[in-house]
Structure 1
Amino acid sequence: MLKLQQKVALVTGGSSGIGRTTAMLFAREGAKIAIASRRHEEGLAVVEEIRRAGGEAIFVKTDVSKADDCANAVEQTVKAFGKLDIAFNNAGVEQFGKPVAQTDEASWDFVVDINLKGMFLAMKYEIPEMLKSGGGSIVNMSSTYGLVASAFGGCAYHASKAGIIGLTKAAALEYAKQNIRVNAICPAFVATAMVEKFLDETQMTDQIKSFHPVGRLGTEEEIAQGVLFLASSASSFMTGTALSVDGGMIAA
């Protein structure tokens, strides 16, 4: 039996990386998918891939740092599919390389506006639609670097990802009795294009692999499976959780 049969899911940042892989997995499990992303051509390509495989999907061009865009993404999802059951709030950016005193305000605002403000805005418009249909499941993309820090010069990234966990817990408590579950997923280093670019630029591949006791990076599919678990009824007694999918990194 498909885990998301008859469900409607909105995936922000769904045009590439973990977002794309999770959207494809959700579709294989029976969900109708709305891809919300700034990348128009890449987003349409994911939609076409889902449709070729027999699924249903739409694309909504979205900048999650803008309230009107988040409202429109939810509105278009409901217009196309009639409801909203699941949201994977995955859109995010990262910047590393400068310590706190050398981080400029524009860089801080760029990261925090997309990662943290964007998460707030997405939930602000997703939750009312879920309430209309009796509940839902929200999964917010955080990071192991929301649980622990590094000296890599990523203060805005760390702050935004830690803030996501706090925001997740607050929303989980606020809506627990209204059948909306809100959880966060916290991956360690995953072999995405964004991470591989960082590793190439810093020549830190071996060092980063050593952070994980399992001795390798994670895969997009492994994180997507964790998101599917949190989104589905398999995790029906879980809310307010920050789930580490990290190859043992936090334990170490």
Structure 2
Amino acid sequence: MFPIHENLKGKVAVITGGSGVLCSAMAKELGRQDVKVAILNRTLEKGQKVADEINHSGGEAIAIAANVLETDTLYKAKEQIINRYGKIDILINGAGGNHPDAITSEETYGPDEKAEKAFFDLKEEGFSKVFDSNFTGSFLACKVFGDALLEQSGSTILNISSMSAYAPMTKVPAYSAAKAAINNFTMWLSVHFANTGLRVNAIAPGFFLTTQNENLLLDENGGHTSRAKKIINNTPMERFGDPNDLIGTLLWLVDSDYSGFVTGVTIPVDGGFMAYSGV
């Protein structure tokens, strides 16, 4: 159980992709911290499940159907949130994911081998979809909600990056490129708004089991794939992350009493993965 951050009480957070494994854990903790939470998802029912859990636990949350790549739905969501809560203090850009058409079947190219899906088989539509959902959607959400954030003191944007932003993972070129763009955009946006008091940071989770990556990390029997074993072997703490491992960093970054002079950084939460050379 994390300590209560009194400075967060009464604040309003918008979380895109709020029904995902990692972002739903963030949403529930913010609800416990007396933050009013608006969960945005393309599918209302998924977001509503998280909102219901927050409300049943004594917090306050609403679910809104919105697509981060359709600005009209974001503006409608913004209007609904402002009408309900009167302000927005925190934006967490958690929408994203991957797509089969942007994933190679092999880690490296073998010209004499017939790969199920080689680099040359990747579809432009799939690549664009992954880049757009992870990066462009974050840009658009910042654009739509940014002016409301500027009206509040101690407001903050938290983007979701990845270990693949630092050293691209094999098989997932679009996802890796998009997360690298998130890191760069986080720095750019933090400088652009630095004199307003709006802080912009990011969290780069290490390897967590989620619905987006379970097909790469678990076999049909629920055991670790060779890729998962490689990850564990290169994570000094020798395990996958648990969603609660992100909460301390989340609370630190969104609470201006704790991190008021921190902006433009991406914090790895990775069990030592990035620090390990392999030897």
Q: Shorter chain as normaliser: what TM range?
A: over 0.9
Q: Given residue 84 of structure 2, which amino acid in structure 1 is its aligned partner? A: A
**Structure 2: runs of 5+ lacking an equivalent:** 105-116
RCO higher in structure (CA 8 A, sep ≥6) = 1
Partner of 1:209: 232
Partner of 1:245: 269
Q: Deviations over 1:86-123 (max 9, x none)?
A: 11111111243255433211011110111111000000
Matched, 1:104 2:123: yes
Distance 2:77 2:186 in 1: 20
Q: Given residue 238 of structure 1, which amino acid in structure 2 is its aligned partner? A: V
Distance 1:66 1:224 in 2: 29
Larger Cα-atom Rg:
2
Percent of aligned pairs with the same amino acid: 34
Kept in 2, the 8 Å contact 1:100–1:155? The answer is no
Task: State the TM-score, normalized to the length of structure 2.
Answer: 0.85
Task: State the TM-score, normalized to the length of structure 1.
Answer: 0.94
Matched, 1:78 2:66: no
Kept in 2, the 8 Å contact 1:18–1:224? The answer is no
Kept in 1, the 8 Å contact 2:14–2:88? The answer is yes
Distance 1:140 1:208 in 2: 23
Q: Note the aligned Cα RMSD (angstroms).
A: 1.6
Partner of 1:117: 136
Q: Given residue 216 of structure 1, which amino acid in structure 2 is its aligned partner? A: R
Give how far 1:54 is off.
1.0
Q: Deviations over 1:184-225 (max 9, x none)?
A: 110111122333332124823322211211100011111233
- Are the structure 2 counterparts of residues 178 and 99 from structure 1 closer, same or farther at C-alpha, using a change threshold of 3 Å? farther
Distance 1:236 1:144 in 2: 25
Q: Given residue 139 of structure 1, which amino acid in structure 2 is its aligned partner? A: L
Partner of 1:140: 159
Give how far 1:158 is off.
0.7
**Structure 1: runs of 5+ lacking an equivalent:** none
How many pairs are equivalent? 251
Q: Given residue 68 of structure 1, which amino acid in structure 2 is its aligned partner? A: D
Q: Given residue 188 of structure 1, which amino acid in structure 2 is its aligned partner? A: G
Give how far 1:16 is off.
2.5
